[in-house]
Amino acid sequence: MARTALVTGGTRGIGAAISQALKAEGYSVAATYAGNDQAAAVFTEETGIKAYKWNVADYADSKAGISQVETDLGPIDIVVANAGITRDAPFHKMTPEQWTEVVDTNLTGVFNTVHPIWPGMRQRKFGRVIVISSINGQKGQFAQVNYAATKAGDLGIVKSLAHEGARAGITANAICPGYIATEMVMAVPEKVRDSIISQIPTGRLGEPEEIARCVVFLASEDSGFINGSTISANGAQFFA
Ligand code: CAA
């Protein structure tokens, strides 16, 4: 029977490409979203991938949602913690709310997503935890003290889970996308975006599919010895 994969934030942007790539590989895929019902409905109609609505920042919501996915599709063997938000502001203007929102979603959201799934993976002696971090967690970024802190924290989660899961057949790895052509990057003011693109040696933004192929690689049965690592996909913009 096909293994089940859960992709948080899996109906738009990089997450949508990941959901579709995993489906194309034969996995049973569930994609979550937090708010945009219309985008989720279109995504499901176009791809046949079922979308589930919950807030990854809420542990009880995540646990209940995950339980529903497992009832519908079977035990989750692959979890892709992809859901993330930005609330960019220079530090002197950043509000405590902007800090908390980003931490709750991008960092605590990873805990809330993986924690309810982890005991089942340990029992079944198989699991693939894949966390979508960011180039900005590796290098820092002007106006992203909150975001960069969470994305660096995600790398700490992955490395620690790799230690804990190794004996149980579970791997935990991170992917650090550079600037990818998604709504999140398109929301950056055009002038700033042009200056970012000029710093990418490849000379262009990445495509969501170029991140999805990293996920497919890490999700494979054959990737069991790749554990605790970080794959950077950033067009040579930064070397960790
Ligand atoms: N480096 C250095 N200085 C910068 C800068 C940068 N990258 N970006 C802006 N500045 C400077 C400006 O030149 C300006 O300086 P002056 O006042 O001397 O002219 C100043 O900072 C801007 O200050 P403001 O008070 O006007 O800024 P603001 O409150 O209007 O905020 C901003 C603007 C939020 C910083 C906006 O420029 C922005 O969104 N920048 C992009 C930040 C970014 O790269 N985010 C990444 C999003 S994509 C993502 O996160 C996905 C991923 O994982 C890669």
If you measure from the C-alpha of residue 168 to the centroid of ligand 1, how many angstroms do you get, rounded to a whole number?
Answer: 44
Q: What is the pLDDT of residue 34?
A: 96
The predicted model gives 85-98 an average pLDDT of 98
In the predicted structure, residue 12 carries a pLDDT above the cut 90: yes
Q: What is the pLDDT of residue 195?
A: 95
Ligand 1 pocket, residue 60 CB under 6 Å: no
Is residue 179 flagged as an active site residue? no
Q: Which of 132, 167, 158 is nearest to 147 (CA)?
A: 132
Nearest CA to ligand 1 atom 11: 142
Q: What is the pLDDT of residue 22?
A: 98
In the predicted structure, residue 198 carries a pLDDT above the cut 90: yes
Domain 4-227, classified CATH 3.40.50.720, yes or no: yes
| Whether 147 contacts 102, CB under 8 Å | yes
Q: What is the pLDDT of residue 108?
A: 98
| Whether 107 contacts 131, CB under 8 Å | no
Could you report the per-residue pLDDT of 123-175, keeping only the tens digit for each?
Answer: 999 999 999 999 999 999 999 999 999 999 999 999 999 999 999 999 999 99
In the predicted structure, residue 240 carries a pLDDT above the cut 90: no
Q: What is the pLDDT of residue 94?
A: 98
| Catalytic-role residue among 27, 33, 52, 147 | 147
The residues facing 215 across adjacent strands are: none
Q: What is the distance, to the nearest Å, from the Cα of residue 35 to the centroid of all Cα atoms in its chain?
A: 17
Could you report the per-residue pLDDT of 105-126, keeping only the tens digit for each?
Answer: 999 999 999 999 999 999 999 9
Ligand 1 pocket, residue 144 CB under 6 Å: yes
Radius of gyration of the chain (CA): 17
Give the integer Cα–Cα distance in Å for 174 and 240: 13
Give the 3-state DSSP-derived string for the chain, with helices as H, strands as E and coil as C. CCCEEEECCCCCHHHHHHHHHHHHCCCEEEEEECCCHHHHHHHHHHHCCEEEECCCCCHHHHHHHHHHHHHHHCCEEEEEECCCCCCCCCCCCCCHHHHHHHHHHHHHHHHHHHCCCHHHHHHHCCEEEEEECCHHHHHCCCCCHHHHHHHHHHHHHHHHHHHHHHHHCEEEEEEEECCECCHHHHCCCHHHHHHHHCCCCCCCCECHHHHHHHHHHHHCHHHCCCCCCEEEECCCCCCC
Q: What is the pLDDT of residue 171?
A: 98
Q: What is the pLDDT of residue 85?
A: 96
Query: Which of 12, 131, 188 most suits a substitution to test ligand 1, by most atoms within 8 Å of the C-beta?
Result: 188
Q: Which of 67, 70, 28 is nearest to 50 (CA)?
A: 28
Percent of all residues in the chain with a pLDDT value above 70, rounded to a whole number: 100
Give the integer Cα–Cα distance in Å for 59 and 65: 10
Q: What is the pLDDT of residue 56?
A: 98
If you measure from the C-alpha of residue 143 to the centroid of ligand 1, how many angstroms do you get, rounded to a whole number?
Answer: 5
Ligand 1 pocket, residue 89 CB under 6 Å: yes
Ligand 1 pocket, residue 179 CB under 6 Å: yes
Q: ∠101-89-195 over CA atoms, to 5°?
A: 125
Length of the chain: 240
Give the integer Cα–Cα distance in Å for 191 and 29: 38
In the predicted structure, residue 1 carries a pLDDT above the cut 90: no
If you measure from the C-alpha of residue 31 to the centroid of ligand 1, how many angstroms do you get, rounded to a whole number?
Answer: 32
77: confidence class by pLDDT, cuts 50, 70, 90 = very high
Q: What is the pLDDT of residue 28?
A: 98
If you measure from the C-alpha of residue 186 to the centroid of ligand 1, how many angstroms do you get, rounded to a whole number?
Answer: 14
Ligand 1 pocket, residue 88 CB under 6 Å: yes
Could you report the per-residue pLDDT of 203-221, keeping only the tens digit for each?
Answer: 999 999 999 999 999 999 9
If you measure from the C-alpha of residue 88 to the centroid of ligand 1, how many angstroms do you get, rounded to a whole number?
Answer: 8
Give the integer Cα–Cα distance in Å for 235 and 33: 28
